[in-house]
């Protein structure tokens, strides 16, 4: 007997905790998507630790309704997630810095989205807070993502930042290390390219032998027939085919809707399989 979830939810309407337990079972079986909004409301009321995981997993609740619930209850972690999901990253950043005092999460958000405007907003928020600790943290953790000079220029002259000199030395060393790593990677890549290019040209210039036993890569019959002479198609990869076989294959591909190619048919099929 199939039980209608709507009937069950109606019968236990006065037992919200029971409704929550029932909906959890439904969602575990990938059912009950139509109750996603109600699930958000029940989790917010009775099981907050499961609310954020549900918001991350489900795609069937209305973001604005969930945001309204989380804002009303001052659930900042869930609120930040929903703000980012809805595209309102600036407000999410404001919640992280002003309400949660989680500068680390704000920096992670800016790094994730690589948004210059978002970085600028974060710098202004931190500098305007006049918090030496926050400014130092921003310089220390985001120094390689944004221009430290831009932060320093915005620091009020009457605001003292303890350990600023040592922090700047560290940032410069980090930059030096980053530049060195990039140079090493670039140099290694160039060496690989040169080596592969040399190998390619050696193989391209290598002679390919075709004899009486050589066969057509398409029809698998001998390339050179004693009773008649045939034109051949020779490819740089070493494969060879009869011209008529190549033309027939081109026509077949055209009829099948495949774009005809002048490349080696054997290599083309191998590339398609990979």
Same domain, 153 and 184: no
Which residue, of 160, 175, 195, is where some domain finishes? Answer: 160
> Would the pLDDT of 144 be above 70?
no
Total domains present in the chain: 3
Same domain, 106 and 224: no
Look up the CATH number of the domain holding residue 220: 3.30.40
What's the confidence (pLDDT) of residue 43? 97
- Identify the DSSP state of 97: I
Cβ neighbours of residue 217 under 8 Å, at least 6 residues apart? 239, 240, 241, 264, 265, 266
Same domain, 28 and 52: yes
Same domain, 172 and 198: yes
Same domain, 231 and 219: yes
- Residue 259 lies in domain: 211-274
Q: What is the pLDDT of residues 166-213, one digit of tens each?
A: 888 888 888 888 889 999 999 999 999 999 998 888 777 777 777 788
Q: What is the pLDDT of residues 52-100, one digit of tens each?
A: 999 999 999 999 999 999 999 999 999 999 999 998 988 999 899 888 8
What's the confidence (pLDDT) of residue 24? 95
Same domain, 129 and 226: no
Same domain, 90 and 140: yes
Terminus-to-terminus CA distance in the chain, angstroms? 49
Which residue, chain included where needed, has tokens 């032998």? 209
Same domain, 136 and 190: no
């Amino acid at each position: 007997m199939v039980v209608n979830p709507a009937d069950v939810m109606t019968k236990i309407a006065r037992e919200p905790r029971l409704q929550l337990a029932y909906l959890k079972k439904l969602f575990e079986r990938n059912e009950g998507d139509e109750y996603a909004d109600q699930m958000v409301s029940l989790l917010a009321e009775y099981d907050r630790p499961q609310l954020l995981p549900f918001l991350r997993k489900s795609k069937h609740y209305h973001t604005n309704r969930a945001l309204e619930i989380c804002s009303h209850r001052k659930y900042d972690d869930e609120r930040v997630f929903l703000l980012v999901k809805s595209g309102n990253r600036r407000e999410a950043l404001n919640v992280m810095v002003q309400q949660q005092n989680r500068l680390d999460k704000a920096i992670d958000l800016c790094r994730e989205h690589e948004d210059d405007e978002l970085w600028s907003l974060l710098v202004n928020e931190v500098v305007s807070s006049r918090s030496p600790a926050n400014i130092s943290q921003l310089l220390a953790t985001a120094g390689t993502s944004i221009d430290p000079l831009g932060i320093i220029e915005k620091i009020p002259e009457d605001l003292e930042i303890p350990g600023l000199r040592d922090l700047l030395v560290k940032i410069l060393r980090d930059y030096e290390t980053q530049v060195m790593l990039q140079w090493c990677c670039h140099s290694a890549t160039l060496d690989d390219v040169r080596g592969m290019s040399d190998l390619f040209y050696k193989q391209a210039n290598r002679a390919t032998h075709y004899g009486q036993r050589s066969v057509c890569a398409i029809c698998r019959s001998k390339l050179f027939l004693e009773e008649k002479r045939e034109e051949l198609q020779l490819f740089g990869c070493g494969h060879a085919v009869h011209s008529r076989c190549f033309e027939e294959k081109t026509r077949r591909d055209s009829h099948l809707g495949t774009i005809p190619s002048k490349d080696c048919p054997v290599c083309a099929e191998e590339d398609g399989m990979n």
